[in-house]
Amino acid sequence: MQISLMVNGVSVETTVLPHVLLVDMLRDTCGLTGAKVGCGTGQCGTCVVQLGDRSVKGCQVLAVQADGAEVTTVEGVANGELTPLQQALWEEHGVQCGFCTPGMVMALTDLLEHEPAPDEQAIRAGIAGNMCRCTGYGGVLRAVRKVVGGKP
Amino acid sequence: MTAFGADLKDREVPGMLRGATAFTADISLPRMLHLAFVRSEHGHARIDSIDTAQAAAMPGVVTVVTQEDLAGALMPMPCIWIPGGVESHFPPHPYGVPGAGTVLADGVVRFIGEPVAAVVAETVEQADEAARAVVVGYTPLPAVTEPQAALADGAPQLHEAVPNNLNALWTCGNAEAADAAIAAAEVVVELDLYNQRTINNPMEPRAAIGDYDPITEEYTLYATTQSPHNHRFLLSALVLGIPFNKLRVIAPPIGGSFGTKGYLYPDMPLVLHLAHKLGRPVRWADTREGLMRSTVQGRDHRQHITLAGTRDGRITGLRCTSYANLGAYPSTIGPGVATALMGRSITGPYEIASAFCEVHAVFTNTVPLGAQRGSGRAEATMITERVIDLYAREIGADPADVRLRNMVPPDRFPYDNGLGWTYDSGDYPAALRRALELAGYHKAEVLRREARERGKLLGIGVGSFVAICGVGPSTRMQAEGMLGGTWESANIRVHPNGEVAVTIGSTSTGQSHTTTFAQIAADELGIDPAAIVVTQADTRKAPYGQGTYGSRSYSVGGPAVAIAARQVIAKMRTAAAHFMGVSEDLIEYADGTFTVQGKEDAAKSFQDMAMALWYGWSLPPGMEPTVDVTTFFDPPDFNYPFGSHVAVVEIDENTGQVEVVDYAAVHDVGPVGNPMVVTGQFEGSIVHGLGQALMEQARYDATGALLSADLTTYAMPRAHDLPPLELDRTVTPSPHNPLGVKGAGEIATVPVTAAVANAVCDALRELGVRHIDMPFTPEKIWRAINEAKG
Amino acid sequence: MERLEYTAPSSLDDALEALHANPGARPLAGGHSLILDLKSRVRRVPLLVDLGRLAELRGVRRRPRGELEIGSMTTITELVADPLVRQSHVHGLLSDAAATLPDAQVRNRGTIGGAVLAGTDVAAALIVLDAETHIRSRDGRHRRISVEDLLDPATPGLAPDEVITAVGVSAATASGAHERQPEPATLTSLCGVAVSVTFRADGAIDTCKVAVCGGRTPARRLPALERAMTAIPERATGLPLDDVFESDDVASGEYRAHLALVLAKRAVARARDRAI
């Protein structure tokens, strides 16, 4: 099936079979390997990307469903620089092995775009769908608090 | 200089934040093929037939292989850690070392997920579809999944050469003395405990890519391995039978491991063999479901412990029997982990005169057992800390007081625990007192009443520990039965302008090595860490190393960097004295500058000396040009980080829900090179431990089917599960390395289950509950409350 | 995932035609259960009819009698943020129920129509709100059926060529709340309880509707629990609920039944707080 979409601001026209998942198309066709396939069942959140103006799990959406849409992956959230969120994740050591990081960044980017001043509960709820096995979430939460309130 | 001890940001992180970091499964080589496994659907079955014809004819399929095709080409896998002094019954490898399984199943499958065949195709999807089309004819055999059942008469037998499925009966300590202490004791307390099987589940599943160059005849393996050098040796010599020089192993950035990626797995030799055979690169990337039924699992001990003590709180003896569930085959170092790391650790931080531990290491129809963050030590700490709480209740004493009373006092080091460990240094009571203070332990009764008013049952629990880390002295590990040295290495090369390349033998799996090792080098060399680049994880580029496990990279590899740096400065000092025309003992080196005592105008910078040695003009007689130093550090003994945790839990009596409302943890890992990184290790370790305490469990049914087979059925902690953490450190250097550092990567997992279990049982004590096994799921707690209430 | 066909019609009629003309075809909404089933191959679907391009199925409208009509493809995120819903008495209960979905990504993609058919917490909330589904099939045929009846295993349910186009929620003014106990792996509810309560002037409970979910049986009302809550909720103990919930790998029916009572009391207490 022929689809055309914008990925990170770049127009992509490609042919894709209907059963192909969005995350697989991004990785295999677009060469954007930031989004990962960590579980396949929707629990881990390593595949989170933005579809339109909201984050979705790239393993729960078909590529054909993104026809005509704008997709943003972790490679496209910042142009060269790091966003304040990414900067804070670096400064607060919210990243260890880095495998969950792309999904974490995309989920939090969505949260902060729509709720610029989330409280602690909202921050945690914002990454309820993102698993991290390294940090225990401490550094991630400090980073978001820093972006929101200036203090980790 | 103050790089050591500074919260430097991890250099690797910006790439990760941008999605630019290529993990193994993100790598694409030209003309790459894809491999998929056909895995056993049975816990135990005879393979009657494997029909590959239909699969082989499917679109894009290049080849389908079974063990029959590999016989003669690939040897079985080795096991390199059968605990010292015991006989392993598993058939040895052809080269006489202990054996493990064949690469693909050979006539019988013994666990669900065991690879039976492999399909190679042009795309992942084609390989997966064809793997589904391979028809395997099985005759199911009776299965056994519990070690005690596997030892019983008439139990299904997994391996002909292993009667009663008993791979080894391993012991340590003095049985007679322990029994005598128990017989003579004023108080005897016993406990049965199941430390449930867990799945480490790093977020990145394993992956491997094999490549072969027919011109140079060189193989390259890209793999999620935390031991690239060691795996190069084992794969080339013992599995593929190819020259060492013809295998290069590269560990791309690794997405977490926690012990699981230090093992040899069938995919590694297979992608190499098939890349050679097919003349194209072959890639395999696991799925979560695949990981859960084939990557080594952790814990799984059924333990019985007997504690002997006096009425006034002195522990006099300890005897523990454990049945360790090894799974279906010996994993690369699994049998050693399940025995020595657990058994020698049961006295914890306490001075106990008579102790004995025996471990029955048993094969069952489950996924092979390996390491899990804090392995062995966590299982030992759990049972000992639980029985100490029961002992304290029995004699009407406070559990913290009993611990303080029995801890090895600070003036007793080095301390031989009687089971094989010699603790290096520490003030164990100080760390416990600090943890009690942080948690407000003295206010427990006030908190308990206040919670009661809100309808909650509050409990407070302590977990104290000491954890052997920094594996280890090679000769000592030889005695433990490990086949291989356990040193680490570093190379420091000084560039002409004074910038520095540090290359290390160990490999990060998320612990910020390229930053923290630069900090060590920077301080020792007296230069800015920004002028230092650290390289790791490629056997062609890096000096030999044994791998990242047992919290050893920083405490064994770190000192290697320091020693190499000291040799760099020593050489520069000799050259500087020569150039400045003074005796070497008059040279001082500080902040990047060599100066001469009493001669204020004479000075040579680190950069001056780098350039001078690069040119090599007029060097001291006999001195070689340039500075390029490689060192190997083999520590004189292990190191023993320690600490205490205090958990405060509240239980909703109506639902059984356990909430950890406060958590204090005090660790001593010696001097800390990067506190931010180490705090991250502690936090991650604690939450990992909370996962086991509260929700994680790998469950099998009687046929060996895995019931918790993906992340919809195996729960792990999420952000809302992180309790308020209060962390602190004490600092006692280890005498066993020049930096005084101790392992830090996994130790904070060790006491978590004990602290939480003690807190939960404390909360339920007033209802008459004595002990509950993990995980503390709401329904289990609710039932315990109901039963206690009658 | 097995190969399949896909179409994304731009009109509801085309979608209904496609469903009718292709046996086995399934409508695709948020996809969280359907795509997962396809991946694990527990379901085979030759044709997916994506409803995602049907603008007419999105958004919330107010009907003349004050009824809210929620387009079936309205996402859960859109639903709780919608101004009409926010101003309505149903907002508290629907927000509670929406928050039970596992994470933001599921709320962003998951739809109210999908949530009805999933039969979990959101459906339980809609049941106590007496919500009605508007269902269309080919040739302009349509019917309305309450969420409660639609999910009742004794009724035929949704036919393969039918599509829920909207969910209607009446303008009643009861106070509602939802409580649940999540299961840690999937963050779905072991047991969820939605209540809708009206209070008399003296604060006593006048009417109380209770719907429960958890386990494989879809959300449904529990009259025994409703009677108990309408009496003196604090005193309700040991209700005959043992056979109401099934046991599975995650929890026993007995525990779920116990939770239902505990959670119902809590939900009623919260509904009371909201009513004040």
Secondary structure of B590-622 in the HEC alphabet?
ECCEEEECCEEEEEEEHHHHHHHHHHCCCCCCC
Residues B366 and B382 in one domain: yes
CB contact under 8 A, B713 and C185: yes
Q: Chain A partners of C5 at a C-beta cutoff of 8 Å? A: 18
Q: Which of C48, C102, C108 sits opposite A54 (nearest CB)?
A: C108
Q: Chain B partners of A101 at a C-beta cutoff of 8 Å? A: 16-17
pLDDT over 90 (residue B673): yes
Q: Residue range B679-686: average pLDDT?
A: 98
Q: What is the full per-residue pLDDT of chain C (276 aa) written as tens digits? A: 999 999 999 999 999 999 999 999 999 999 989 999 999 999 999 999 999 999 999 999 999 998 999 999 999 999 999 999 999 989 999 999 999 999 999 999 999 999 999 999 999 999 999 999 999 999 999 999 999 999 999 999 999 999 999 999 987 779 999 999 999 999 999 999 999 999 999 989 999 999 999 998 999 999 999 999 988 777 777 677 767 899 999 999 999 999 999 999 999 999 999 987
CA distance C88 to C69: 12
CB contact under 8 A, C31 and A64: no
pLDDT over 90 (residue B406): yes
What residues 37-66 of chain A have any CB closer than 8 A to a CB of chain B?
Answer: 37-41, 43-44, 46
Residues B279 and B267 in one domain: yes
CB contact under 8 A, A140 and B719: yes
Q: Chain A partners of B201 at a C-beta cutoff of 8 Å? A: 133
Full residue range of the structural domain in which residue B281 is found: 13-141+203-256+260-292
CB contact under 8 A, B256 and A34: no
pLDDT at C210: 97
What residues 56-115 of chain A have any CB closer than 8 A to a CB of chain B?
Answer: 73-75, 78, 82, 86, 89-91, 93, 95-102, 105
Q: Judge whether A90 and A150 are in contact, CB under 8 Å.
A: no
In a domain, B442, yes or no: yes
Q: Judge whether C197 and C272 are in contact, CB under 8 Å.
A: yes
**B288 φ/ψ angles, rounded to the nearest 5 degrees:** -65, -45
CA distance B126 to B132: 10
Which residue, A129, A128, A84, A131, is CA-closest to A109? A84
| 3-state secondary structure (DSSP) of residue B767 | coil
CA distance B371 to B550: 9
In a domain, B173, yes or no: no
pLDDT at A152: 87
Whether C101 contacts chain A with CB within 8 A: no
Residues B556 and B615 in one domain: yes
Torsion of CA B219, B224, B227, B232, to 10 degrees: -10
Q: Judge whether B9 and A90 are in contact, CB under 8 Å.
A: yes
* Neighboring chains of C (3 or more beta-carbon pairs < 8 A): A, B
What is the ipTM score, two decimals? 0.98
| 3-state secondary structure (DSSP) of residue B698 | coil
Domain edge (last residue) among B616, B633, B650: B633
Q: Which CATH class is domain C5-50?
A: alpha beta
What does chain A come to in residues? 152
Q: Which of A27, A82, A99 sits opposite B255 (nearest CB)?
A: A99
Question: Got the DSSP string for C26-52?
Answer: EEESS-TTHHHHHHHTSS--SEEEE-T
Q: Which of B712, B718, B779 sits opposite C255 (nearest CB)?
A: B779
- Report the chain C residue with the minimal C-alpha distance to residue A106: C105
Q: What average pLDDT does chain B have?
A: 97
- Report the chain B residue with the minimal C-alpha distance to residue C250: B713
Q: Return the residue in B129, B653, B654, B708 with the most chain C beta carbons within 10 A, the one to mutate for interface testing.
A: B654
In a domain, B188, yes or no: no
Alpha helix (H) ranges present in B155-258?
A: 175-184, 228-233
Third-level CATH fold of A84-149 = DNA polymerase; domain 1 (1.10.150)
pLDDT over 80 (residue B660): yes
Residues B377 and B492 in one domain: no
Residues B368 and B495 in one domain: no
Residues B742 and B655 in one domain: yes
Q: Residue range B571-592: average pLDDT?
A: 96
CATH number at residue B284: 3.90.1170.50
Q: Judge whether B78 and B88 are in contact, CB under 8 Å.
A: no
H helix or E strand, kind and range, residue B130: helix B124-133
pLDDT one-digit tens code per residue, B496-531:
999 999 999 888 999 999 999 999 999 999 999 999
CA distance A37 to B356: 46
pLDDT over 90 (residue B27): yes
Q: Chain C partners of A40 at a C-beta cutoff of 8 Å? A: 39
Tokens of C135: 């269902």
Which residue type sits at C9? Answer: P
pLDDT at C173: 78
Query: Which CATH number is associated with domain C56-169?
Result: 3.30.465.10
Whether C35 contacts chain A with CB within 8 A: yes
Residues B245 and B329 in one domain: no
Which residue, B576, B584, B573, B580, is CA-closest to B599? B580
Tokens of B202: 């790093």
Query: Which CATH number is associated with domain C175-275?
Result: 3.30.390.50
Residues B697 and B738 in one domain: yes
CATH number at residue B694: 3.30.365.10
What residues 691-710 of chain B have any CB closer than 8 A to a CB of chain C?
Answer: 694-695, 707
CA C236 to each of CA B425, B498, B786, C227, C228: distance values in angstroms, whole numbers, following the listed order: 59, 79, 17, 10, 6
Question: Got the DSSP string for B50-110?
Answer: EE-HHHHTSTTEEEEEEHHHHTTTSPPPB--BPPTTS---SPPPTTSSPB---SS--SEE-
Q: Chain A partners of C102 at a C-beta cutoff of 8 Å? A: 42-43, 128-129
pLDDT over 60 (residue B234): yes
Residues B410 and B530 in one domain: no
DSSP state of C6: E
Whether B714 contacts chain C with CB within 8 A: yes
**How near does any CA of chain A get to the CA of C230, in Å?**
33
CA distance C89 to B780: 38
**B323 φ/ψ angles, rounded to the nearest 5 degrees:** -110, 110
CB contact under 8 A, A127 and B13: no
In chain A, which segments carry CATH 3.10.20.30? 2-76
pLDDT one-digit tens code per residue, B367-392:
999 999 999 999 999 999 999 999 99
Q: Residue range B647-653: average pLDDT?
A: 97
Place of tokens 């775009």: A113
Q: Which of B10, B685, B688 sits opposite A93 (nearest CB)?
A: B10
- Report the chain C residue with the minimal C-alpha distance to residue A123: C104
pLDDT at B363: 98
Environment class of B132 (CB within 10 Å of its CB; exposed 0-12, middle 13-18, buried 19+):
middle
**How near does any CA of chain B get to the CA of C259, in Å?**
6
In a domain, B705, yes or no: yes
Q: Which CATH superfamily is domain A2-76 in?
A: Beta-grasp domain (3.10.20.30)
Which residue, B229, B145, B107, B123, is CA-closest to B539? B229
| Chain C: residues touching B (Cβ < 8 Å) | 181, 183-187, 190, 249, 251-252, 255, 258-259, 262
pLDDT at B89: 85
**How near does any CA of chain B get to the CA of A68, in Å?**
24
Residues B652 and B550 in one domain: no
Contacts 24+ apart (CB under 8 A), B104-108: B104/B65, B104/B66, B104/B67, B104/B70, B104/B266, B104/B270, B105/B40, B105/B47, B105/B67, B106/B67, B107/B46, B107/B47, B107/B67, B108/B44, B108/B45, B108/B46, B108/B47, B108/B141
pLDDT over 90 (residue B273): yes
Q: Return the residue in B16, B288, B686 with the most chain A beta carbons within 10 A, the one to mutate for interface testing.
A: B16
The confidence band for B678, taking pLDDT boundaries of 50, 70 and 90, is: very high
CB contact under 8 A, B201 and A33: no
Q: Chain B partners of A47 at a C-beta cutoff of 8 Å? A: none
Q: Return the residue in A1, A19, A56 with the most chain C beta carbons within 10 A, the one to mutate for interface testing.
A: A19
CA distance C83 to C247: 40
Q: Return the residue in C4, C183, C255, C261 with the most chain B beta carbons within 10 A, the one to mutate for interface testing.
A: C255
| Chain A: residues touching C (Cβ < 8 Å) | 1, 17-19, 21, 40-43, 45, 48, 51, 54-57, 60-62, 64-65, 67, 107, 110-111, 125-126, 128-130
Does the bond joining B775 to the residue before it have cis omega, within 30 degrees of 0?
yes
Place of tokens 């729509």: A114
CB contact under 8 A, A133 and B17: no
Domain edge (last residue) among B292, B315, B345: B292
Q: Judge whether C261 and C239 are in contact, CB under 8 Å.
A: yes
Q: Which of A41, A67, A111 sits opposite C36 (nearest CB)?
A: A41
pLDDT at B548: 87
Residues B611 and B684 in one domain: no
Q: Return the residue in C33, C40, C181, C248 with the most chain B beta carbons within 10 A, the one to mutate for interface testing.
A: C181
pLDDT at B1: 52
Whether B454 contacts chain C with CB within 8 A: no
Domain count, chain B: 3
Q: Chain C partners of A21 at a C-beta cutoff of 8 Å? A: 1, 35
pLDDT at B710: 97
* Neighboring chains of A (3 or more beta-carbon pairs < 8 A): B, C
Q: Chain B partners of A33 at a C-beta cutoff of 8 Å? A: 19, 22-23, 26
CB contact under 8 A, B654 and C262: yes
